[in-house]
Chains A and B, each alone.
Chain A
Amino acid sequence: MSKRLLSRLANSPQLPVIVLAVAFFCWNALTLRGFFTPASLREFLNLMVPLGCLTIGSSMVLVTGGLDLSVGAVVCLVNVTVITLMGKNYGFSLAAAIGVGMLAALGIGLLNGLVVGYLRINALLATFATQSVAAGAALWIMPRPGGRGSTAMVKWFKSGWLAGVIPTSALFLLIPLVIWYLIRATPFGVWLYAVGQDEQKAFLSGIRTRGVKLMAYVFSALMAGLGSIALLGNIGGGDPNVGMSLTLSAMASTVIGGVSLAGGEGDALGALIGAVFFNLIIYTVFGANLSVFYQDLATGLIILLGIVGMTLYKQHNVRKRRDFTG
């Protein structure tokens, strides 16, 4: 049993990112004082949840051969919607405000699916345009940072436990992962990969490719909305620019996690491990006593090397498989 698991691990496309994540985790645990303590690990989990949600969502879009640059802006839009509705002028309850915020995310997801799937506009340019739509709407609703969310929710998110064993913030990753793998087990899951591998063939096999793409973008936007709520659990305030930098992080993590930009390859768990790796690097660089001016450069270079390693490993694997099958 364990032997089978090991050989599956050795052949999995996610092996490099697993190795990288474990290596950086050990490095952090050995070199950063106080990293390997329950409180600090809980903090690490809390901080990585928003990016984790985004990568789970992005992975589905990438599997269909698409790309979603609007996720960061959706995080902003949901953030300002929830905070504004909870403010004095509207007085919504937390649940109602989150509901409306998720509706806003759904709207952007539908727009993405419509323009990419049905209107056949290049995914990169289309989702860049919808990014402007969502970011513009966020700035319109809340021109400058302000407002407060629910402190009870922050407390629940940051230090709550479910049944005494599961950290509440982990629910934001566990439930989507379960949903992702349930979807994958259905015929729709097969269609997702079919569309990503060869859209023409998928279409000729009778798959409604446009609808499949639409659903992938909707899932991605909803996951970005969930990520935004997780972010709210971390910071508890409103900021119209809060998520913009997450777009690049999400794409980098998803690709390092073994999801191919060409489509039809990879899954949510790999992407999530990519997000773990991304956050571990931030800790490593932050703890390395580098001057603040060198931190961005160091982070960027490590990410770049991670992607180089991932790509080389993948090609090696393809070559090995080709040799094996002749």
Chain B
Amino acid sequence: MSTSPDTPGRLSELLSASARRYLFPLFLIVLLFAVGHSITGGFATLGNINNLLTVSCILAVATFAQTFVILAGDSGIDLSVGSIMSMSALMVPTICAGEASRLPQAVIASILVAAVFGFFNAAGVMLIGIPSLVMTFIMSAVVDGFTLSYTMGQPTGKIPDILLALGQPAFGGVRWILVVTLIIAIVTELYLRTTRSGQSIFLVGNNRRAAALCGINVRNTVFLAYMLCAVLAALGGILLVGYSGSSILKMANSNTMLSVPAAVIGGVNLSGGEGNMLSGFLGAIIFTLLTNLLVAAGLPNGVRILIQGSALLVILFVYTRDRKLRQ
């Protein structure tokens, strides 16, 4: 047993992998807090950090959802995540109509509808062969149209108090929504790491042919990934409506495009088969921080969006450059 020679190599490899995954994002987060604190005092106070973590939960759940589809590979991406979040955020209050007793059926209904949309996404991609980007982009328009026709433009009904409790502190100032999001992160991470179907998502993402030769049903696994993504997105929408206490059309659509770079910062490989949930949370925190930092700096709307886009370009430049053609 002479493992000692390669132990340092492994250690440094391990360190560089976890550095990529956790240390860089953490460094970015600390940096953003420092910049925020120097611009407006009170940015890095405990209370505000708690607030920012709470706000980032919504994007975090969108990122978890997005991760499933990206993991399943073949340049998979789901651009309907935000629309499905908006849909469940509007559906749940409409079905509940203020009565807490109807909450379970409202939640189940919105999750089922989301799963159906996820099923159609997967069917378009796997059975018909439409590129995932096109399929889910068009699907986002269909979902938005569905939400509009379902709610008739105006969400009716009061949000039940149980849902509103998501925005209330659970213990020591930490709000319930953060607790729930962490639970979702841990459950999905465990699912991916320890269960057979979770592992097969990785395998399918790495190499479809090899996965098929191993006896994995590739088609079913991809369907599962898209449907899990849609269901998680619906959960994210429910969290959002509980936290924000009101719902408007397309309220969560902006999460779609941010969920992709957030997942990438979390170490997800855009060509599939590599990534995890917990570090996706860090990616979500970075983008939420960036937005709030620019709002706190009191910049006009246009300048804020402009800087946000430029910052995203820089982050993408650091994280997602393709390999050179000249290898």
Give the segment of B3-11, B176-184, B296-304 that binds chain A.
B296-304
CB < 8 Å: which of B128, B131, B149, B305 contacts A132? B305
A122 and B320 contact, CB distance less than 8 A: yes
CB < 8 Å: which of B128, B130, B300, B309 contacts A133? B309
CB < 8 Å: which of A125, A299, A312 contacts B128? A312
Please give, as numbers and ranges, the residues of chain A lying within 8 Å of B317 by CB-CB distance. 115, 119, 121
A136 and B306 in contact, given A203-B325, A293-B152 (Cβ under 8 angstroms) = yes
Please give, as numbers and ranges, the residues of chain B lying within 8 Å of A67 by CB-CB distance. 133
B190 at interface, CB cutoff 8 A: no
Please give, as numbers and ranges, the residues of chain A lying within 8 Å of B131 by CB-CB distance. 261-262
A143 and B301 contact, CB distance less than 8 A: yes
Tell me how far the C-beta of B86 lies from the nearest C-beta in chain A, rounded to whole angstroms: 13
A252 and B138 in contact, given A136-B305, A140-B302 (Cβ under 8 angstroms) = yes
Q: Is the interface of B mostly helix, strand, loop or mixed?
A: helix
Tell me how far the C-beta of A268 lies from the nearest C-beta in chain B, rounded to whole angstroms: 19
A304 and B302 contact, CB distance less than 8 A: no
Please give, as numbers and ranges, the residues of chain B lying within 8 Å of A124 by CB-CB distance. 77, 133, 260
B148 and A296 contact, CB distance less than 8 A: yes
B130 and A308 contact, CB distance less than 8 A: yes
A136 and B304 contact, CB distance less than 8 A: yes
Alpha-carbon separation in the docked complex, A299 to B302 (Å) = 31
B145 at interface, CB cutoff 8 A: yes
CB < 8 Å: which of B142, B257, B302, B321 contacts A139? B302
Central interface residue in A126, A128, A131, A301, by most chain B CB within 10 Å: A128
B270 at interface, CB cutoff 8 A: yes
A136 and B130 contact, CB distance less than 8 A: no
Tell me how far the C-beta of A58 lies from the nearest C-beta in chain B, rounded to whole angstroms: 12
CB < 8 Å: which of A121, A200, A251, A311 contacts B137? A251
Central interface residue in B129, B137, B140, by most chain A CB within 10 Å: B137
B185 at interface, CB cutoff 8 A: no
B272 at interface, CB cutoff 8 A: no
Alpha-carbon separation in the docked complex, A199 to B325 (Å) = 8
Please give, as numbers and ranges, the residues of chain A lying within 8 Å of B309 by CB-CB distance. 129-136
Alpha-carbon separation in the docked complex, A308 to B123 (Å) = 11
Q: Tell me which residues from 265 to 304 in chain A have a Cβ below 8 Å from any Cβ of chain B.
A: 291, 293-301, 303-304
Tell me how far the C-beta of B94 lies from the nearest C-beta in chain A, rounded to whole angstroms: 13
Q: Tell me which residues from 158 to 190 in chain B have a Cβ below 8 Å from any Cβ of chain A.
A: none
B313 at interface, CB cutoff 8 A: yes
A261 and B139 in contact, given A120-B322, A312-B128 (Cβ under 8 angstroms) = no
Tell me how far the C-beta of A126 lies from the nearest C-beta in chain B, rounded to whole angstroms: 6
Alpha-carbon separation in the docked complex, A204 to B130 (Å) = 30
Please give, as numbers and ranges, the residues of chain B lying within 8 Å of A261 by CB-CB distance. 131, 133-134
B145 and A315 contact, CB distance less than 8 A: no
A129 and B316 contact, CB distance less than 8 A: yes
A14 at interface, CB cutoff 8 A: no
Q: Tell me which residues from 250 to 269 in chain A have a Cβ below 8 Å from any Cβ of chain B.
A: 251-252, 255, 261-262
B300 and A140 contact, CB distance less than 8 A: yes
Central interface residue in B139, B264, B305, B326, by most chain A CB within 10 Å: B305
B124 at interface, CB cutoff 8 A: yes
Q: Tell me which residues from 238 to 274 in chain B have a Cβ below 8 Å from any Cβ of chain A.
A: 257, 260-261, 264, 270
B27 at interface, CB cutoff 8 A: no
Alpha-carbon separation in the docked complex, A126 to B320 (Å) = 10
B141 at interface, CB cutoff 8 A: yes
Alpha-carbon separation in the docked complex, A153 to B178 (Å) = 55
Number of A-B contacts (CB under 8 A): 145
A119 and B141 in contact, given A126-B316, A312-B128 (Cβ under 8 angstroms) = no
A300 and B308 contact, CB distance less than 8 A: no
Tell me how far the C-beta of A199 lies from the nearest C-beta in chain B, rounded to whole angstroms: 7
Please give, as numbers and ranges, the residues of chain B lying within 8 Å of A293 by CB-CB distance. 148-149, 152-153
A220 at interface, CB cutoff 8 A: no
A307 and B130 contact, CB distance less than 8 A: yes
B146 at interface, CB cutoff 8 A: yes
A248 and B133 in contact, given A124-B77, A129-B316, A312-B128 (Cβ under 8 angstroms) = no
Tell me how far the C-beta of A299 lies from the nearest C-beta in chain B, rounded to whole angstroms: 7
Alpha-carbon separation in the docked complex, A119 to B313 (Å) = 10
A297 and B306 contact, CB distance less than 8 A: no
Please give, as numbers and ranges, the residues of chain A lying within 8 Å of B138 by CB-CB distance. 248, 252, 300, 303-304, 307
Tell me how far the C-beta of A249 lies from the nearest C-beta in chain B, rounded to whole angstroms: 9
Please give, as numbers and ranges, the residues of chain A lying within 8 Å of B78 by CB-CB distance. none
**What 0/1 readout, one digit per residue, does chain A (216-241) give for beta carbons within 8 Å of chain B?**
00000000000000000000000010
Alpha-carbon separation in the docked complex, A294 to B317 (Å) = 42
Please give, as numbers and ranges, the residues of chain A lying within 8 Å of B148 by CB-CB distance. 293, 296-297
CB < 8 Å: which of A126, A137, A296 contacts B306? A137
Tell me how far the C-beta of B153 lies from the nearest C-beta in chain A, rounded to whole angstroms: 6
Contacts A/B (CB < 8 Å), 21 sampled: A115-B316, A119-B317, A119-B321, A122-B270, A122-B320, A126-B313, A128-B257, A129-B313, A130-B309, A132-B308, A133-B306, A133-B309, A136-B303, A248-B138, A252-B137, A291-B149, A293-B148, A300-B138, A301-B142, A303-B138, A311-B128
Per CB-CB distance, the 5 closest pairs between chain A and chain B, nearest first, are A132-B309, A136-B306, A140-B302, A139-B302, A297-B145
Interface residues, chain A, with chain B CB atoms under 8 Å away: 67, 115, 119-122, 124-126, 128-141, 143, 199-200, 203, 209, 240, 248, 251-252, 255, 261-262, 291, 293-301, 303-304, 307-308, 311-312, 315
Interface residues, chain B, with chain A CB atoms under 8 Å away: 77, 124, 128-131, 133-135, 137-142, 144-146, 148-149, 152-153, 257, 260-261, 264, 270, 300-310, 312-313, 316-317, 320-326
Known: A121-B313, A143-B301. 20 other contacts (CB 8 A): A115-B316, A115-B317, A120-B324, A122-B316, A122-B322, A128-B260, A137-B306, A140-B300, A140-B301, A143-B302, A251-B137, A293-B153, A294-B149, A296-B148, A299-B141, A300-B138, A300-B141, A304-B138, A307-B135, A312-B128
